[in-house]
Structures are given as C-alpha cells and as structure tokens.
Amino acid sequence: LASRDFHPEDTVIDIRGVKIGGGNLAVMGGPCAVESPAQIDEIARLVKAAGGQILRGGAFKPRTGPYSFQGVGVEGLVMMAEAGRKHDLLTITEVMTPDYVDICAEYADILQVGTRNMQNFDLLRKLGECGKPVLLKRGFSATYDEWLNAAEYILAGGNPNVMLCERGIRTFETYTRNTLDLTAIPVMKQLSHLPVISDPSHGTGRRELVETMSKASVAAGADGLIIEMHTDPDHSMTGDGVQSLFPDQFANLLRELEQLAPLC
C-alpha cells in the first residue's frame, strides 16, 4: 500500500485545509517538549507569526535514561491543544505506547512515531485504527525497506494518512548527533506516494546546521520540515536546546524557505 506502483499519484493529506504533500511546504515548529502552558502558548504564537502551520511538542518523551525528564504527560496534551486552538495551528505530538494512542488522538491533529518506536508493531497496528494522520520517523538504523514496511503496518490497518520522516541515522560520525540521510528523501518519493518530511534538528543535533539542511531537504524534494524552536533553548528541559532554533532564526528561515516553495 505504501508503494508508488500501487498508488501512482502523490498522497495529499488534508487536515482542516492544510494540505501536506503535493507541492506546498508544511512547516512544523515548536519545542522538543511541552514544559508549561506559558511556554507552549508563547512558542505557538511565534510559530504562527513566522508562517508555520503546525505546532510540534512532546508531552511524552522517549529518553535514553530513566532518570531524565520524561515529559509532562497528559497535561501537556491539554496545554498543546489549547495553544493550537488559540493560535490556529494544527498540532503534532509523539505517542509511545498503544495504550496512549486514543488519548493522544483526542488532543492532537497528527501523531508522531519516534525513531525508537519505528518497529513497535503493536503501536503501528493501533495507529492503523486511530483515525488521525501519523508521522512515522525512520528508525535510526532502519533500512528504507524496513521503514516502508513499518508504514505498511499503519496503512494495512486502515489509515491512509501516513507521512515518512527522515530524522537522521546512526553512523560512525560523532560530530553531528545523527547523519541526516538526504538521499532518503528522493528515494522515498520514488518508491512511495506518501509525503516526506525532514527533521534537520534531530538529523544534525546542531542549531547552526538546521538552516542549511532545511534548504537542502527542500531541494531534495521534502514536502515538509519538522524543526525544534524554543524561546530559551539553554534552559530547555530536554537536552535538545543545542539543536533548537531561537525564534528569530526560525522566522528568518521560513522567510527564506518561502523563496524555495510556497508554504501550505
């Protein structure tokens, strides 16, 4: 079902008038984690003012260590939904377990599968039935074929609205957090009809590389970008402040991206 042989035309996912895929650029911006109502409200305002259409933010965070901040949980879903409504933005948030799919689907417009869960098949099956679009991040050591098979689980469950997100893979290089595999973008566009989103924030782990790799992703054919932005990156509650843009950088980036492709 994910294959272009089966479905030659590009899939366009229309969420309340925001069309993802099919030529326009979707920009998802926001913090790694939802931290407080004031934080997410202010960032939502800035995403909207910059021309973004979708607010990102994690309420449930997949952390490498069990003692690290794990996200604010369900309250974060509520805070984010409120900020999205107030600032007229769609919202996207990560769901980590099948048990939480229903509640995340109740509050968010798009559900994100994180890199660590790309092959959590119970989660993928549940997302097949959730009724909401899904952004499926590539596992950090997944092949293209494994990634497409993961998408296939969601599609086979009855959910046609899947986006593929390249977020960097693990290589021998340690200067960057991950290696953003730009080649994945044209390959996925060739093999599949699903929209392809790039995540230059996790793909590089370095704020100063986000602008260049965003433009490179668009040049490579990406249908959208998911970018971390924070009003106070140095005090972000996850370690992802170093890859988060400052609000003015985010706004400048969107102005430049608009020269490359019309925003949704």
Phi and psi angles of residue 2, each rounded to the nearest 5 degrees, phi first:
-80, -15
C-alpha separations of 15 from 5, 89, 132, 205, 226 in Å = 25, 11, 9, 29, 16
- C-beta of 62 vs 131, nearer to ligand PEP: 62
- C-beta of 32 vs 150, nearer to Mn ion: 32
- Residues 120, 98: Cα–Cα separation, whole Å: 9
* Position 35 contacts Mn ion (CB under 5 A): no
Binds ligand PEP (CB under 6 A): choice among 52, 114, 139, 224: 114
Residue 213: CB minimum distance to ligand PEP, A: 14
How would you label 173-190 residue by residue, b for 16+ Cβ within 10 Å and e otherwise?
A: eeebbbbbbbebbebbbe
* Position 199 contacts Mn ion (CB under 5 A): no
In the region spanning residues 145 to 174, those forming contacts with Mn ion, defined by CB under 5 A, are none
| C-alpha atoms less than 13 angstroms from C-alpha of 64 in its C-beta half-sphere | 3
Residue 38: CB minimum distance to ligand PEP, A: 20
- C-beta of 218 vs 229, nearer to ligand PEP: 229
* Position 62 contacts ligand PEP (CB under 6 A): yes
3-class SS string, 181-225:
CCCHHHHHHHHECCCEEECHHHHHCCHHHHHHHHHHHHHCCCCEE
Binds ligand PEP (CB under 6 A): choice among 87, 126, 132, 137: 137
Query: Site for ligand PEP (CB under 6 A): how many residues?
Result: 8
* Position 158 contacts ligand PEP (CB under 6 A): no
Helix (H) or strand (E) holding 26: strand 26-30
* Position 32 contacts ligand PEP (CB under 6 A): yes
- Residues 128, 243: Cα–Cα separation, whole Å: 31
* Position 96 contacts Mn ion (CB under 5 A): no
Residue 31: CB minimum distance to Mn ion, A: 8
Task: Give Cα 192 to chain centroid, integer Å.
Answer: 18
In the region spanning residues 175 to 214, those forming contacts with ligand PEP, defined by CB under 6 A, are 202
* Position 92 contacts Mn ion (CB under 5 A): no
Residue 259: CB minimum distance to ligand PEP, A: 26
In the region spanning residues 229 to 248, those forming contacts with Mn ion, defined by CB under 5 A, are 240
Helix (H) or strand (E) holding 29: strand 26-30
- Residues 68, 192: Cα–Cα separation, whole Å: 37
- C-beta of 35 vs 240, nearer to Mn ion: 240
Footprint on this chain of Mn ion (rule: CB under 5 A): 32, 240
